[in-house]
Amino acid sequence: MEQEKQRLKEIILQKSYRKGTFTLTSGRTSDFYVDGKQTTLDAEGAYLCGRLIHKIIAAAQPAIGAVGGMTLGADPLVTAVSLVSYLEKSPIPAFIVRKEAKGHGTGAYIEGQSNIPAGAVVALLEDVVTTGGTLLKVIERVESQGYKVGLVITVVDRQEGGAETLEKAGYPLKAIFTKTELV
Residue 25 CB: number of other CB atoms within 10 A? 11
Are 156 and 180 in contact by the 8 Å Cβ rule? The answer is no
Three-state DSSP class for residue 183: coil
135, 124 contact by CB (below 8 A): yes
In terms of Cβ atoms closer than 10 Å to its own Cβ (0-12, 13-18, 19+), residue 169 is middle
Are the C-beta atoms of 12 and 41 separated by less than 8 Å?
no
Which CATH number goes with the domain that contains 136? 3.40.50.2020
Q: To 10 degrees, what angle do helices 43-58 and 2-15 make?
A: 140
**Domain limits for position 16:** 2-182
Contact assessment for residue 96 and residue 142, using Cβ atoms and an 8 Å cutoff: no
Q: Name the pTM for this structure.
A: 0.95
Write down the pLDDT at residue 1. Answer: 82
Q: Specify the number of domains making up the chain.
A: 1
For the chain, what's the residue count?
A: 183
Alpha helix positions (H), the chain: 2-15, 37-40, 43-58, 75-87, 133-143, 162-168, 179-182
pLDDT per position in the chain (183 positions), as tens? 899 999 999 999 999 999 999 998 778 899 999 999 999 999 999 999 999 999 999 999 999 999 999 999 999 999 999 999 999 999 999 999 998 877 666 768 999 999 999 999 999 999 999 999 999 999 999 999 999 999 999 999 999 999 999 999 999 999 999 999 999
| pLDDT at residue 26, rounded to an integer | 79
